[in-house]
Structure 1
Amino acid sequence: MLKPFGEDIWTADGPITGVAGFHYPTRMAVIRLQDGSLFLWSPTALTQDLRAAVDALGEVQHLVAPNSLHHLSLADWKTAYPAARLHAPPGLRAKRPDLVFDADLTDTPPPEWAGQIDQVLVRGNLITTEVVFFHRPSGTAIFTDLIQHFSPGWFTGWRAIIARLDRMTAAQPETPNKFRNSFVDRRAARTALRRILAWPTRRVLMAHAPPVETDGQAFIARTFRWLKP
């Protein structure tokens, strides 16, 4: 259910989710902060087993949506943990007026996790503004949709053709073309990338790609080589 990924960080793989006819695996991360409370990144579908495993780690205090595309299970988690604070990335308040958010994610970590988790908004993209996080104790950078990788057989039929053309099934993890082409402000994206590359990243977690266990900083630099001037 929950798999350790480093010091005070765990992952859980959720069910497959369909979006526009394409099926995506889901993944969440659980981070235990210094005060013992839990920070949940991109919460997946809530089940009794998952809830029990999370409760065994500590008290859920932060529910974090990393971009405006990863929000489908937030209402269930907020219902289960009404005292937890719900954190919104840019664009999600307007998209989910049914949810009451407690705070907005910015380039500055809030006091609750400052010094433990860093964050940067990757601005300039028409699809979504993704918030990339860095968990300092484990040296883990956490991406959502800006890096993806699927095996060639994951998609079938015409979807397999689109996935190949979009770089979703490339030989190694890549930024899909739809996201590359949607960066209308690459200067803003490069500014964010410089901050990300300054982190001493060892590991990389992604929602839609296998985790990277070593040489994370070099992995990020290679993946975003297309964005450099």
Structure 2
Amino acid sequence: MTLQAFGPQIWIADGPVLTAAAGFRYPTRMAVIRLAKGGLFVWSPTALSPDLRAGIDALGPVEHIVAPNSLHDTFLTPWRDAYPDARLYAPPGLRARRPDLAFDADLADEAAEAWTGQIDQVQMRGAWITTEVVFFHRASRTAIFTDLIQHFSPGWFSGWRGLIARLDLMTGPAPAVPRKFRAAFTDRRAARAALRRIRAWPVEQVLMAHGAPVTSDGRQFIARAFDWLEPA
């Protein structure tokens, strides 16, 4: 696992494939943003291999470790152990799921003081599965989604899992919000309010935890991905 530059002061790294409920296999991806004062903001950390750690340490000190939703917590403990001076941030719902972790702060609907003016954020409220915090890195004009938008190749899942993935829009012709997440948004008004903030960002690139990055026309991409949420 090695870091790859994704724009000014932002890097990404792909991690191991994890097996989730019912045997569905998911690749993992993380992002690292270097803030103005040199400290690092680590989004959705994946497995901390020696090579990855060496690359991270070469960029600067890890100051902020962020779990973007309550489903992305697998590797938080080793990162907490490796970087005990970093602040660990919990998204809505994760403190209750992980009482073993000592979180330093909660991710709110506005940027924390440490990254105000550099990284914007909004809670995508209204879904019962999880409340995902979506980020926007201003310097690279990158929107960062976790599970809300996904895209797998048609052959990634096989057998009955392949059928379910296709019906769920996980393996369609383009990245999409899976049908299970669409159905989970029982409070569409809250979701639309969050989406309006996201669509106001001058996005050019889009990162997803489970799908190839989008490197151009990010605003149009987000509009297409969430056209099902717009009021009739």
Q: Same fold (TM over 0.5)?
A: yes
Q: Which amino acid aligns with 2:113?
A: P
Q: Which amino acid aligns with 2:219?
A: Q
Structure 2 counterparts to residues 11-50 of structure 1, below 5 A:
11-20=12-21, 21-50=23-52
Structure 2 CA distance for aligned equivalents of residues 122 and 108 of structure 1? 12
Secondary structure of 1:46's counterpart equals: coil
Segments ≥4 residues shifted beyond 4 Å: none
Q: How far off its partner does 1:197 sit?
A: 0.2
Q: Which amino acid aligns with 1:172?
A: A
Structure 1 CA distance for aligned equivalents of residues 46 and 221 of structure 2? 26
1:111 aligns to 2:113 (yes or no): yes
Aligned to 1:88: 90
Task: Indicate which of 119, 137, 140 corresponds to 1:138.
Answer: 140
Q: Deviations over 1:97-123 (max 9, x none)?
A: 000000000111111000000000000
Structure 2 CA distance for aligned equivalents of residues 162 and 215 of structure 1? 30
1:63 aligns to 2:71 (yes or no): no
TM norm structure 2: 0.98
TM norm structure 1: 1.00
Structure 2 CA distance for aligned equivalents of residues 74 and 6 of structure 1? 25
Q: Structure 1: state its 5+ residue gaps.
A: none
Q: How far off its partner does 1:139 sit?
A: 0.2
Structure 2 CA distance for aligned equivalents of residues 48 and 209 of structure 1? 25
Q: Structure 2: state its 5+ residue gaps.
A: none
1:161 aligns to 2:163 (yes or no): yes
Structure 2 CA distance for aligned equivalents of residues 95 and 46 of structure 1? 22
Instruction: Give 1 or 2: higher strand fraction.
Output: 1
Aligned to 1:79: 81
Secondary structure of 2:195's counterpart equals: helix
Q: How far off its partner does 1:31 sit?
A: 0.2
Aligned to 1:199: 201
1:190 aligns to 2:192 (yes or no): yes
Q: Which amino acid aligns with 2:167?
A: L
Cα RMSD over matched residues? 0.4
Q: Which amino acid aligns with 1:119?
A: Q
Q: Deviations over 1:51-108 (max 9, x none)?
A: 0000000000000000000000000000000000000000000000000000000111
Q: How far off its partner does 1:160 sit?
A: 0.2
Aligned to 2:153: 151
Q: Deviations over 1:137-193 (max 9, x none)?
A: 000000000000001000001000000010000110000001000001000000000
Structure 2 CA distance for aligned equivalents of residues 34 and 125 of structure 1? 34
Task: Indicate which of 207, 221, 224 corresponds to 1:222.
Answer: 224
Count the aligned residue pairs.
229
Aligned to 1:99: 101
Q: Which amino acid aligns with 1:59?
A: P
Q: How far off its partner does 1:202 sit?
A: 0.5
Q: Which amino acid aligns with 1:9?
A: I
